[in-house]
Every structure is written in structure tokens, then in C-alpha cells.
Amino acid sequence: MKKILLCVTGSIAAYKALELTRLLVKANCEVKVLLTESAKAFVTRLSFEALSQGKVYDDLFAYTDHPIEHIELARWADQIVIAPASANTIAKLALGLADDLLGNVILATDKPIFIAPTMNVVMWQNTAVQANVNQLKNRKFIVLPPDAGEQACGDIGDGRLMEPQAIIKHILKPKIKTDKHVVITAGPTVEALDPVRYLSNHSSGKMGYALAEAFVDIGWGVTLISGPTQLIASQGCDVVQVRSANEMHDAVLEKVKTADLFIAAAAVADYRPQICAVEKIKKTDESDALTLKLIKNKDILASVASLTKNRPCCVGFAAETHNAREYALAKIERKNLDFLILNQVNTDNGFPFYSDHNEVQLFNKHHQQVLVLPLASKRDIANQIVNYLNENVIKKEVQTELNYE
């Protein structure tokens, strides 16, 4: 019987934690519930006691059964689930504060911690909240991202608590490990001009990182080769950090040797300065212009697609401002691709670079449009691309091993 400590924080979505408790008990879990002070403004101990058939914890200094209850609770749980997690709780946990029972339990545990944030869409997008969430990811918390939709305040967007059924799937699902391996490039490359300047682009890496996370979730081995970004990769990814297109090229060719699939989501610089000045280039009074000579970078995707031995299935991205479909299909031929994902730049729906959302079309090598994915979060888009590729790119015998993590 799995032992789950469900921690509920102050949010209008706290009522959904009652349903979560019921589903966990139904799934044969032993459940203990911890309520923060703010949670008690929204839900009562009594309801959780009835549904969990156990004791509810809410006081760091209660000392009823055991003098150091936070340590006991941390030791007892197989998994800790914080749902809903408010912006305030996320900030406190990011700082490692221990001013209440929840903060103490979290510091005292080495068990997996799932955290399901919920808040207003603008609060969720706030850079302070995002920085705190990234900090928690960095510390191996498993973030169950909020759903999009209508919110209690009337706003529409990301911030709704993930539905209890979906949370259950994440925390109780058997991890299926396959022997399949994908290599994904993500983010921009930077091409040095001199020791302090470079040429680069607006890629944030979000699309590539979302794909990596979606592949980890279905049990693939994932190597993420990333240009400089602010992002933290999903736990379970092998990450190789690079800066220039040349570095990305060498890392990819090394890692694809064992890959079934290669996805080039990075925005790789097509050209780099022919010379990287050894010293900072100085502004002069003699001329109003500076001429740079750029030379072509190697095409990483085309290099992988032209491998004669151990060639993985190759998927490219195209970001086009005009004649999008025509240029995208031409890339399939020119680079010898199996699939191409087209995201159009400057549609009415926005700009795929650095946004949290995207809308894409997937073409196969016969130029057939096999998926049309309207505007959605990059994570949702990634899930659908990954499901499609997982169904259609099975080269090796799939060996599955069920283990509960």
C-alpha cells in the first residue's frame, strides 16, 4: 500500500483536494493530510478526516502523538503531493523556509515531491513565480503544471489546478521504461564576435524542453543538447550544454549514434563571424559602419539525416514568416527529413519564439499533413507530437519494464 502525504495549501481550488483524497483512498493508498493555516480558510479538517480515514495534521507544535511530528511524517510518506500549491507556498518552499509544518516536512524528506500549482493566470506568468517554480524543479520537485481554462476570478488562461484524475495518473502511473532514445536540440546558438559580443536569436528553448519532458514521461531515454537558456530540464534528461552551432554539431553527432529519433528544435545560427576577434572590437571615429564577414555553419540536421550508418529518424522544425508551407516542404527534400514541424512566425495568434504557446503542423516525408495542432501550450503541443512519433517511429523492439516510482 502506497503511503501518500497530501499537503493542501490556501487556494479556492482546495475543494478539489477532497476529491483527490477520495481517489487516492480508492486507489488503495494510505493517505495522511496536512493542511496549512490558509488551507483551513477554504476547507475543513473534518472533511479530510472522513475521506482519508486518518488523522489530519495542521500544527507544527501539536506534539500529540509524537514529539517531532514533521520528521515522522517525512519518514512515513512514500510520496508527498502538494495540491493545490499556492504562489505563497511555492515562494516559501523555493526559499527553504521552515516556519510551519509543511515547510519543515519538505526540508526533512528525501522522497519524491509532486507539486500542483494553482493561481490566477497573471500571477502564474509573473517572473517571480516562474523563477520559484524553476528553483523547485532544480531541486527535483515534480511540477504538475496547471491547466488552462476559465478561472474563479473570471480570467482565462493557465492557472487552474490539474484535475484530480490527472494528478492521480501522474503520481500513481507505472513508469514504463522503453529502450528507445531520442536526441533533441533546443534553444538558440550564440556565435562570438569578440570576447564580449555575439550574434544570436530569440529562441528560449521552451519548445525543445517541452518535447524532452514529454518523452521522459513516456519512458524514452532523452538527450537534450541545449544552447544557452534560462530553463531547467526535466528530471531524467541527459543534458549537454553548448553555445555555438559548431559545439552543437559535435555534441549531436556524438550522441545520435545510439538514437532512434533526432528532433532539431533549436534555432541554430546559419552563419557565424568568420573571425572572432581576440580583443574587444573598438568603435572608431573613421567610419559609421562596421562590416562583418559571416561564413556558413554546418547544417546539423542535414548532417544527421545524411548518415549512412545508424541513421535515426529525423524531424526538423521550420519557423517561417512567409510562403511557410512551400519553404517547409522544400526543407524536407533539401535536408532529407522524415518529418517536419512547421510553426508560422507572425500569425494572428502570435510568435512561436519565447512564447509559452505555439500552433504547428506536422508533415511527413511524402509532404502529407499528418497533424494540425491549433494554439495550445508548448507542453500540450509536445504531448501530441510525441504521441504521434511514438506510435509511428518504433524501430527497436520495445522492452517494457513496469516499476512504480
Binding residues vs ligand PMT (CB under 6 A): 185, 187, 203-207, 245, 264-268, 270, 297, 299-301, 316-319, 331, 343, 352-354
Catalytic residue positions, numbered: 153
Which of 69/260 has CB closer to ligand PMT?
260
Q: Which amino acid is at 256?
A: V
Residue 299 CA to residue 32 CA, distance in Å, equals: 54
Q: Extract the C-alpha cell encoding 6.
A: 497530501
Number of neighbouring beta carbons within 10 Å of residue 5: 24
Spatial neighbors of 108 by CB under 8 A, at least 6 apart, are: 70, 71, 74
Alpha carbons 229 and 85: distance in angstroms, whole number: 26
Minimum CB separation of residue 204 from ligand PMT in Å reads 4
Q: Cβ atoms within 10 A of the Cβ of 275, count?
A: 11
Pairing of strands 175-177, 401-403: antiparallel
Nearer to ligand PMT, 92 or 331 (CB): 331
Q: What is the Cβ-side half-sphere exposure of residue 310, based on CA atoms within 13 angstroms?
A: 8
Q: Are 193 and 273 in contact (CB under 8 A)?
A: yes
Identity of the residue, 159 or 187, whose beta carbon is nearer to ligand PMT in the bound complex: 187
353 is in an annotated binding site: no
Respond yes or no on whether the N-terminal peptide bond of residue 67 is cis (omega within 30° of 0).
Answer: no
Task: In angstroms, give the least distance from the CB of 309 to ligand PMT.
Answer: 19
CA–CA distance, 217 with 145 (Å, rounded to integer): 13
Q: Which lies closer to ligand PMT via its Cβ, residue 162 or residue 267?
A: 267
3-state DSSP helix/strand/coil % of the chain, to nearest 5:
35, 30, 40
User: Is 335 annotated as contributing to ligand binding?
Assistant: yes
On whether 270 is known to bind a ligand per the annotation, the reply is: yes
Q: Residue 101 CB, nearest distance to ligand PMT (Å)?
A: 39
Using the minimum distance from each CB to ligand PMT, give the nearer residue, 261 or 319. Answer: 319
* Least distance in angstroms from the C-beta of 184 to ligand PMT: 10
Single-letter code of the amino acid located at 376: A
CB of 350 to ligand PMT, least distance (A): 11
Residue 111 marked in a binding site: no
Rounded alpha-carbon distances, angstroms, from residue 306 to 182, 212, 256, 310, 337: 17, 23, 12, 10, 9
- φ/ψ region of 350 (left if φ > 0, alpha if ψ in -120 to 50, else beta) reads left
Q: Which is nearer to ligand PMT, 162 or 263 (CB)?
A: 263
Smallest distance, Å, CB 321 to ligand PMT? 10
Is 250 labeled as ligand-binding? no
Q: How many CB atoms lie within 10 A of CB 362?
A: 20
**218 three-class SS:** coil
- Reported as type and span, the H/E element at residue 342 is strand 339-344
Mapping DSSP to helix (H, G, I), strand (E, B) and coil, where does residue 54 land? coil
What residue numbers does the annotated binding site cover? Answer: 270, 280, 317, 331, 335
What residue numbers does the annotated binding site for CTP cover? Answer: 270, 280, 317, 331, 335
